[in-house]
Amino acid sequence: MTRPSVVFFDLGDTIWHHPHRPAPDVIEAELVRRLEAVLGAHDLHPRMGAREVQRALGARGEALEAKAVLEGDGDYQAMTLEVLREAGLNPSPEQVEAVWETRRLGGRFLQREILPGAYEMLATLRARGFRLGVITNRAHGGASFRAELADYQLDTYFDALICSDRVGYRKPHPRIFEVALEAFGIAPEQAVHVGDNLEADVHGARQVGILPVWMRGVQSPGGNPTEDVHSVSHVIHHLSELLSLPFLSAYPP
């Protein structure tokens, strides 16, 4: 096979995980608290309570994500504006952005932990001459996402971040993988994608010709797999195992 030059990674349950994630009621209470603070700071008074507004944002966001898997879209700002207008508000673009950002809880609140061996593995791949990228289904990309990576000392490892909210498509849709290839100017056979979800990561990468590696150490198969588990050629249970795969060997191979 052609030796790849770029390794893409999913993040959740691949590079990091949330083994002590707060209970749903704790998460909802924090979302409501943050929204109340933003509404008060901007002198916004919806005709429904902050809890109802947050629940509407959550439900509409989930519907938008489901649509982005099938046909694209993913305009969270337009969705947030719609919810706020239904609540009797006429917010500015800056206020819409501030309200949507209340949904971004962040890794510290969610008690995120970096998986063992992640930093060493990423550093070794870069030392071997590989370029690294992220392909992630995420509702909050952009500057806030880069800041979150920096908070965990992960920002310096990746050459490009491909986030579904910026692309308008979610994995396993082929377009998000195509955008990732375009960002590096490479053909599919020059790339590897590492992820935990059979449908989003393995099938998604394979359908565009990217070699998938299934990270099975944290979760069982995710989504509604179209791939037979036994058909996956490359399976790892620990990130350090990536370094032993022949196509990711030290350069030159």
Residues 146 and 165 placed together within one structural domain of the fold = yes
What is the arithmetic mean of pLDDT over 226-238? 77
Count up the domains in the chain and report the number: 2
In whole angstroms, what is the distance from residue 57 CA to residue 3 CA?
44
Considering the domain boundaries, does residue 173 fall inside one? yes
Q: Which residues form the domain of 74?
A: 24-101
pLDDT of 220 > 60? The answer is no
1: in domain: no
* Buried b or exposed e, range 57-96, using 16+ CB within 10 angstroms: beebbeebbeebbeebbbebeebbbebbeebebebeeebb
Other beta carbons less than 10 A from residue 121's beta carbon: 23
Tell me if 15 sits within 8 A of 117, measured CB to CB.
no
- Note the pLDDT tens digit of each residue in 13-69: 999 999 999 999 999 999 999 999 999 999 999 999 999 999 999 999 988 888 888
Q: Are residues 151 and 93 in the same domain?
A: no
Taking the C-alpha atoms of residue 115 and residue 186, their distance in angstroms, rounded to an integer, is 29
More confident residue, 60 or 222: 60
Q: Does 65 map to a domain?
A: yes
Q: How confident is the model at residue 84 (pLDDT cuts 50, 70, 90)?
A: very high
Q: Specify whether 62 is located in the same domain as 87.
A: yes
Q: DSSP letter for 3, please.
A: P
74, 174: one domain: no
Find, among 242, 240, 200, the residue nearest to 65 by Cα: 200
CB 8 within 8 A of CB 135: yes
Judge if 91 and 133 occupy the same domain: no
Mean per-residue pLDDT, 143-158: 93
pLDDT at 161: 96
Domain-terminating residue out of 66, 101, 136: 101
Report the distance separating Cα 75 and Cα 248, nearest Å.
Answer: 37
Please say if the pLDDT value at position 1 is more than 90: no
* pLDDT for residue 222: 55
Whether the per-residue pLDDT at 205 is higher than 90: the answer is yes
- Predicted structure pTM score: 0.90
Are residues 30 and 14 located together in one domain of the fold?
no
Asked which of 101, 124, 153 is the last residue of a domain, the reply is 101
- HSE-CB of 176 using CA atoms within 13 angstroms: 36
Domain presence at residue 86? yes
Tell me: do 10 and 28 sit in the same domain: no
Establish if 238 belongs to a structural domain: yes
Pick from 143, 171, 249, 187: which is nearest to 14 by CA?
A: 171
Domain membership of residue 147 (yes or no) is yes
Residue 207 is classified by DSSP as T
Q: In this structure, is residue 151 part of a structural domain?
A: yes
Q: How confident is the model at residue 225 (pLDDT cuts 50, 70, 90)?
A: low
Mean pLDDT value across the chain: 91
pLDDT for res 219: 64
Would you state the pLDDT for residue 142? Answer: 84
Q: Is residue 42, in this structure, part of any structural domain at all? A: yes
Domain boundary among 101, 132, 167: 101
Helices 93-101, 24-41: inter-axial angle, 10-degree rounding: 160
**Does the pLDDT value for residue 72 go beyond 90?**
no
Q: Are residues 124 and 238 in the same domain?
A: yes
CATH code of 224's domain: 3.40.50.1000
Lowest mean pLDDT among 33-37, 82-86, 226-230: 226-230
Please tell me whether residues 183 and 211 are part of one structural domain.
yes
What is the pLDDT at residue 253? 46
